[in-house]
A = this chain, B = another copy of it.
């Protein structure tokens, strides 16, 4: 029986959510694993089934767990499928989601720029790893991208990415190799003109309009874990947003 309850002002179902969240983040419950059945878990936590279900519903909404009637409740696998569906909003003109191919063009480590430090909530000059990628959509080079990662969170950057190709499985890799579970992101969109370098990379005229996407990604604990700046050639693709 836990010490939940009154001193903590938050509703019980929020406290339960936090406890379960912690079990997932800490690795006590591993990716893809089934968690205990509802009655069992409710008994263990000393709350009613209804309260537990409410907490589980919130975790499901955040994509941390998946529930299947008749089978059980599972910790989400950060599959490439899922990560792409959640975070990659690019469609072709037919409205079909596309899968990007990725080609790494450079990996470096150095002190954070002021902007990187601000966006990633680092102290000025803290080390960041940077990965530059070219990404292809439907066979054509369409995205120029730089990813900045706090070096403190990714010691040694033990990424198997020296080879030229790496899928969008970076998030999967984050989770498996560094215990970081990505759950949300903020993106700022604007328009920019292609530099010479970008034009060469993307095969478009210098000065062509590109969609500039600046994304900060957060993990389950709310920490910023990635700054990603992408330049998308929108001659054949769109960035899709649904507003509810």
Contacts and interface: CB of A to CB of B under 8 A. Distances in A.
Interface of A: 61-62, 86-87, 89, 91, 183-193, 207-212, 232, 234, 237-244
Q: How many copies does the complex hold?
A: 2
A187 B87 contact: no
Given A189-B234, A192-B209, 16 more contacts: A86-B243, A183-B244, A185-B242, A186-B240, A186-B242, A186-B243, A188-B240, A188-B241, A189-B189, A189-B211, A189-B239, A189-B240, A190-B211, A190-B234, A193-B208, A241-B241
A241 B186 contact: yes
Contacts of A242: 184-187
B210 A207 contact: no
Contact of A244 (B184, B211, B234, B240): B184
24 contacts: A61-B244, A62-B244, A89-B243, A91-B188, A184-B244, A187-B240, A187-B241, A187-B242, A189-B189, A189-B234, A189-B240, A189-B241, A190-B237, A190-B238, A191-B192, A191-B209, A191-B212, A191-B232, A191-B234, A193-B208, A193-B209, A209-B209, A209-B210, A241-B241
